[in-house]
Amino acid sequence: MTDILYSFRRCPYAMRARLALAVSGHQVELREVVLRDKPQAFLDASPSKTVPCLVWFGGVIDESLDVMVWALERNDPNGWLDMPKIGFDWIEQADGPFKEALDRTKYANRYPGTDALEQRAKASEFLNDLNAQLDGWIFGRPCLADFAILPFVRQFAFINKPWFDEQAWPALQSWLDQFLQSDRFFAMMLKYPQWSPGDVPTYFPTLVEPD
């Protein structure tokens, strides 16, 4: 039985799951979910009703970071799991306070009484620290923390890309640009049609993952 990944192309959580699956070379059946029209098979599988959701013979993995670790524990040719333990602290900060401020910047109308500029400033505190930490990569070489965080920095950057590009974050901007221009990013962001029961399976990754 082929493992199944329910995904949504633009979701940063699903992006990072696909990144780890691609680099590991672990092929899954990819089922593209449209969030306004979630298929019943996905709702039945996912306890949280959110993407990504990995269904494998051992059960269901419903958290994107857990999907990343699961894939890399099977095959980690680029050594992404070989990172200092503080890398998980960086991911926790990105997933917590930074993502909270990001959402309230991008979707301020969903949070009554929220000041989007105030929230942008809060998000920027994390990015200031990250810019200072980066030396090409968070720990000088690509690792799990980089690819767990990059999709969210991308999401933040494109809220107002001209403003983002004007900030004094040269290391951060270079890190993001390198990611956005990489073969890995383009392969991970290929478009797939909405999945429906009975469709011919779509497999991911379909290409050899670049070094």
Buried b (16+ CB within 10 A) or exposed e, 113-143: eeebeebbebbbebbeebbeebeebbbeebb
Q: What is the DSSP track for 39-81?
A: -HHHHHH-SSS-S-EEEETTEEE--HHHHHHHHHHH--TT-TT
In this prediction, residue 16 carries a pLDDT of: 98
In this prediction, residue 206 carries a pLDDT of: 82
Statement: residue 156 has pLDDT above 70: yes
Question: What domains can you pick out in the chain, each with its CATH number?
Answer: 4-79+187-204 (3.40.30.10), 86-185 (1.20.1050.10)
DSSP summary character for residue 193: P
pTM score of the predicted model = 0.94
Alpha-carbon distance 53 to 31, whole Å? 10
φ and ψ of 86, to 5 deg: -65, -15
Alpha-carbon distance 102 to 21, whole Å? 26
Among residues 106, 101, 152, 107, which one has the least CA distance to residue 122? 101
Alpha-carbon distance 183 to 206, whole Å? 13
Which pLDDT tens digit goes with each residue over 89-129?
999 999 999 999 999 999 999 999 999 999 999 999 999 99
